């Protein structure tokens, strides 16, 4: 559809749905979803032409909104305004907020060049590499999340126990499940299944797969929509990887496959004993080869690494296997056009643009350099000694990322340096903080 058609289409929707405000949104490098609220008249007259500013200083903030001058040009650069250009193909109505629509924007410098530290630009660049090679990416993020009562003192889960999929338990929280399914369906995410998970207050709602950039865009919408819907109903939904120490972590498993331009799944080979093509094996090999650096990009917070523990259905070793939920990469049993990989490394606090870009870039290196993976796990304990280990902390992962020349060249040095600087700043703040554990352990003892 041409740009002019999009503009006419959107203008008609705004009138018919009586929209008065449009959110112009983006994901920043610290995985914060930011937006500017724009009256519909100004959106029609100005913003659809790409004319709205955005303070560049916001890209130099860490997750606490603390300014990190080393991330970007710093005070010497003056923190100029950048320009948001809406991607009109992402326009949609927010069903849970009457009169509000939203569109995802890309960010540019005043001279028209993309801001290279922007996660969406990084992903688009990697996807363009795949398209030039004749590949199309198909997939979806599979998020887990926790829900707590807003009115409670402390973290009070909306349901108690470990009985995931329990119909009795789920019946007590049907208002949560049905409202989330309805909201996601109305916004076009195509929810497929919903259920409680293996932790008090934990849920999972899977959505339909999409193509290319839409995979991350829908993950963006998915997470923000769930949080907003449940906030309006008196709940707090969190996508922290490990909000409660004693219960299960929340993952963001990434299902993905490659197709050619004729719609053929390139991960499938009917002649192979396990149905996986050589290209698929190289793709696995690339992700395993870069796994330690990939961990830094897909697990961006201090808290992320508290999920990556043995025997918690989260990976700790660089392994893969058929239907193996202890491995980093699980190959589901489906074949033919449904042949795909499930990378279980990311936590639910992951940035979908950065994570998808990194996984694809690693897989592309595997294809180009014919990186063979080790044998798959066959009735083996993925947590047993002998397998190469994933990083156990954010600093360990960041060091691996800094040393990975492929990611530096493919995702861009400007992006990687910016990412390393902000993440290390957060770790420095964590190291200087006095935690509740320390107070409980030492306050009365010494």
Residue 444 maps to a domain: no
Residues 358 and 258 in one domain: yes
Say yes or no to pLDDT of 131 above 90: yes
Say yes or no to pLDDT of 426 above 60: yes
- For residues 394-402, give the mean pLDDT: 98
Average the pLDDT over each of 21-30, 151-160, 211-220, 273-282 and give the range with the smallest value. Answer: 151-160
Residue 445 maps to a domain: no
| 115, 139, 157 - which closes a domain | 115
CATH (domain of 364): 3.30.590.10
Residue 389 maps to a domain: yes
Residues 31 and 89 in one domain: yes
Residues 83 and 23 in one domain: yes
Residues 232 and 336 in one domain: yes
d(CA 94, CA 85): 20
This prediction has a pTM of 0.95
Residues 285 and 381 in one domain: yes
Average the pLDDT over each of 182-191, 231-240, 397-406 and give the range with the smallest value. Answer: 182-191
The whole-number pLDDT of residue 189 equals 84
Tell which phi-psi region holds residue 100, choosing left (phi > 0), alpha (psi between -120 and 50) or beta: beta
What is the 3-class SS of the chain, one letter each residue? Answer: CCHHHHHHHHHHHHHHCCCCEEEEEEECCCCCEEEEEEEHHHHHHCHHHCCCEEEHHHHHECCCCCECCCCCCCHHHCCCEEEEEECHHHCEECCCCCCEEEEEEEEECCCCCECCCCHHHHHHHHHHHHHHCCCEEEEEEEEEEEEEECCCCCCCECCCCCCCCCHHHHHCCHHHHHHHHHHHHHCCCCEEEEEECCCCCEEEEEECCEECHHHHHHHHHHHHHHHHHHHHCCEEEECCCCCCCCCCCCEEEEEEEEECCCCCECCECCCCCCCECHHHHHHHHHHHHCHHHHHHHHCCCCHHHHCCCCCCCCCCECCEEECCCCCCEEECCCCHHHCCEEECCCECCCCHHHHHHHHHHHHHHHHHHCCCCCCCECCCCCCCCCCCECCCCHHHHHHHHHCCHHHHHHHCHHHHHHHHHHHHHHHHHHHHCCCHHHHHHHCCCC
Say yes or no to pLDDT of 50 above 90: no
The whole-number pLDDT of residue 4 equals 52
Average pLDDT, the chain: 93
| 94, 115, 136 - which closes a domain | 115
Give the count of domains, the chain.
Answer: 2
Residues 178 and 108 in one domain: no
Residue 62 maps to a domain: yes
Say yes or no to pLDDT of 77 above 80: no
Residue 7 maps to a domain: yes
The whole-number pLDDT of residue 354 equals 97
- For residues 107-115, give the mean pLDDT: 93
The whole-number pLDDT of residue 5 equals 78
Half-sphere exposure of residue 340: CA atoms within 13 angstroms, side-chain side: 17
Residue 183 maps to a domain: yes
- For residues 300-305, give the mean pLDDT: 97
Residues 413 and 328 in one domain: yes
Residue 441 maps to a domain: no
Residue 120 maps to a domain: no
Residues 36 and 135 in one domain: no
d(CA 33, CA 221): 10
Residue span of the structural domain in which 30 resides: 3-115
Say yes or no to pLDDT of 275 above 50: yes
- For residues 308-317, give the mean pLDDT: 95
Residues 51 and 8 in one domain: yes
Say yes or no to pLDDT of 2 above 60: no
CATH (domain of 13): 3.10.20.70
Residues 86 and 131 in one domain: no
- For residues 436-440, give the mean pLDDT: 93
The whole-number pLDDT of residue 163 equals 87
| 58, 88, 115 - which closes a domain | 115
Say yes or no to pLDDT of 3 above 60: no
- Which residues have C-beta within 8 Å of that of residue 197, sequence separation ≥ 6? 144, 164, 203, 204, 248, 250
């Amino acid at each position: 559809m041409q740009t002019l058609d999009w503009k006419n289409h959107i203008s008609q929707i705004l009138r018919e749905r009586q929209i008065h405000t449009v959110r112009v949104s983006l994901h920043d490098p610290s995985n914060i979803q930011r937006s500017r609220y724009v009256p519909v008249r100004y959106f029609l007259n100005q913003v659809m032409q790409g004319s709205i500013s955005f303070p560049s200083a916001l890209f130099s903030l860490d997750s606490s909104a603390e300014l990190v001058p080393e991330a970007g040009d710093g005070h010497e650069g003056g923190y100029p305004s950048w320009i948001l250009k809406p991607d009109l193909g992402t326009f949609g109505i927010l069903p849970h907020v009457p009169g509000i629509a939203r569109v995802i924007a890309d960010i540019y410098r005043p001279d028209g060049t993309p801001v290279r530290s922007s996660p969406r630009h990084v992903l688009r660049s990697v996807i363009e590499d795949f398209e030039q090679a004749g590949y199309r990416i198909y997939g979806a993020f599979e998020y887990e999340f926790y829900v707590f009562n807003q009115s409670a003192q402390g973290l009070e889960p909306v349901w108690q126990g470990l009985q995931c999929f329990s119909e009795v338990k789920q019946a007590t929280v049907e208002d949560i499940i049905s409202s989330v399914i309805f909201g996601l369906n109305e916004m076009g995410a195509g929810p497929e299944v919903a259920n409680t998970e293996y932790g008090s207050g934990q849920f999972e709602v899977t959505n339909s797969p999409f193509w290319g950039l839409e995979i991350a865009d829908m993950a963006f919408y998915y997470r923000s929509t769930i949080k907003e819907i449940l906030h309006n109903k008196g709940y707090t939904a969190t996508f922290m990887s490990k909000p409660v120490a004693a219960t299960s972590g929340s993952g963001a498993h990434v299902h993905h496959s490659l197709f050619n331009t004729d719609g053929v799944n390139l991960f499938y080979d009917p002649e192979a004993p396990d149905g996986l093509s050589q290209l698929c094996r190289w793709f696995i090999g690339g992700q395993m080869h870069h796994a330690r650096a990939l961990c830094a990009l897909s697990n961006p917070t201090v808290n992320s690494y508290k999920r990556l523990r043995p025997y918690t259905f989260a990976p700790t070793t660089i392994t893969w296997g058929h239907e193996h939920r202890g491995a980093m990469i699980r190959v589901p049993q489906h074949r033919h056009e449904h042949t795909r990989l499930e990378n279980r490394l990311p936590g639910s606090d992951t940035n979908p643009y950065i994570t998808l870009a990194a996984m694809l870039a690693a897989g592309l290196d595997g294809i180009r350099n014919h990186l063979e993976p080790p044998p798959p796990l066959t009735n083996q304990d993925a947590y047993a000694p002998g397998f190469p280990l994933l990083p156990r902390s954010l600093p360990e992962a960041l060091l691996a990322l800094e040393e990975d020349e492929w990611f530096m060249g493919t995702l861009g040095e400007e992006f990687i340096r910016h990412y390393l600087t902000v993440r290390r700043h957060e770790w420095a703040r964590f190291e200087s903080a006095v935690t509740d554990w320390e107070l409980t352990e030492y306050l009365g003892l010494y």
